[in-house]
Amino acid sequence: EAEPLLQGFLQDFFRKESLRPGQLPIVENILNQKSTIGLLPTSAGKSICYQLASLLTPGVTFVADPLIALMDDQVQGLKADHGIDRVFALHSGSKVKSDQIGKVISEQLMVFLSPERFQSPDFRTSLQSVGALETFVNYAVIDEAHCVSMWGHDFRPPYLLLENNLRKYCSYRGKEPIIVALTGTASQMVLIDLQRELNIQNASHIVRPKSFDRPELSFKLHRCSANQKASDLKMID
């Protein structure tokens, strides 16, 4: 019953005709306040899942991204392509002072930031400021969530601390944010690791596609000698 309504909003907000396979159960989980791990193939529309939910429900959405370029790209796309301007990328290039962070957050629908940001004492203090304290953080999204497993155990340990930091510093009057972990790259072992590190064990909270087949992609093998690679590549369409 929800699908026609959601598709109506999708058309209004994003000018998309319909939801793609796999998007609906993720959006429904999020709107039903279920912390969710969502697996969708690359370019299958993971971002719209949390963006649509963010626009339909109260509060701010924090989006943890691994790269500044990804943050800026998301913000630019939302503003330029869809006219959604209450979005902000909080990083070193934002030139936002510590005492301004609480106010900036309280004015946004979505705030993009790195996992390391939650380790910053200044940022934690800012979250306790008057402006931020009265800000309801409804969703905490971990984009490219496979980084929790693939990077968290190695050179970016803040990924392993995300779940605890989000619940500890982003709760609003006792309500913890709904954690949404989205990725297109997760083996079974990575998925198990995500479940453990993000404390999402309920099977109904894990959404996987029926198939990772990408019919729009094709591969062609061409055999050639090493000294012919450059010339042969020019001939291949």
Confidence (pLDDT) at 132: 58
pLDDT of residue 73: 95
Which tokens sit at 195?
Answer: 């479940």
pLDDT of residue 218: 80
Is residue 131 over pLDDT 60? no
Q: In whole angstroms, what is the distance from residue 235 CA to residue 237 CA?
A: 6
Q: Mind listing the pLDDT tens digit for each residue in 29-49?
A: 999 999 999 998 877 789 999
Each residue of 117-129: b (16+ CB within 10 Å) or e? bbeeeebeebbeb
Q: Answer whether residue 14 shows pLDDT above 60.
A: yes
- Biggest CA-to-CA distance, the chain: 67
Q: In this predicted structure, what is the pLDDT of residue 166?
A: 92
Q: Where are the alpha helices (DSSP H) in 170-211?
A: 188-198
Give me the pLDDT at residue 188, please: 86
- For the chain, strand residue ranges (E) read 36-39, 60-64, 87-89, 110-113, 137-143, 178-183, 206-207
Lowest mean pLDDT among 55-69, 142-156, 187-201, 209-223: 209-223
Instruction: Give pLDDT, residue 43.
Output: 75
Q: What is the pTM of this model?
A: 0.86
Question: pLDDT value at position 98?
Answer: 84
pLDDT band at 70 (very low <50, low <70, confident <90, very high): very high
Share of the chain above pLDDT 70, in %: 96
Task: Give the pLDDT of residue 212.
Answer: 67
Query: In the predicted model, what is the mean pLDDT of the chain?
Result: 89
Query: How crowded is residue 84: how many other Cβ atoms within 10 Å of its Cβ?
Result: 18
pLDDT band, residue 133 (cuts 50/70/90) = low
Q: What's the whole-number mean pLDDT along residues 77-81?
A: 94
Higher pLDDT, 157 or 128: 157
Q: What is the pLDDT of residue 220?
A: 81
Helix residue ranges, H only, 57-187: 68-82, 101-106, 121-127, 130-133, 146-150, 158-169
pLDDT for the residue numbered 109: 95
* DSSP helix/strand/coil, 187: coil
Rounded (10°) CA dihedral 209, 14, 112, 36: -30
pLDDT tier at 237 (50, 70, 90 boundaries)? Answer: low
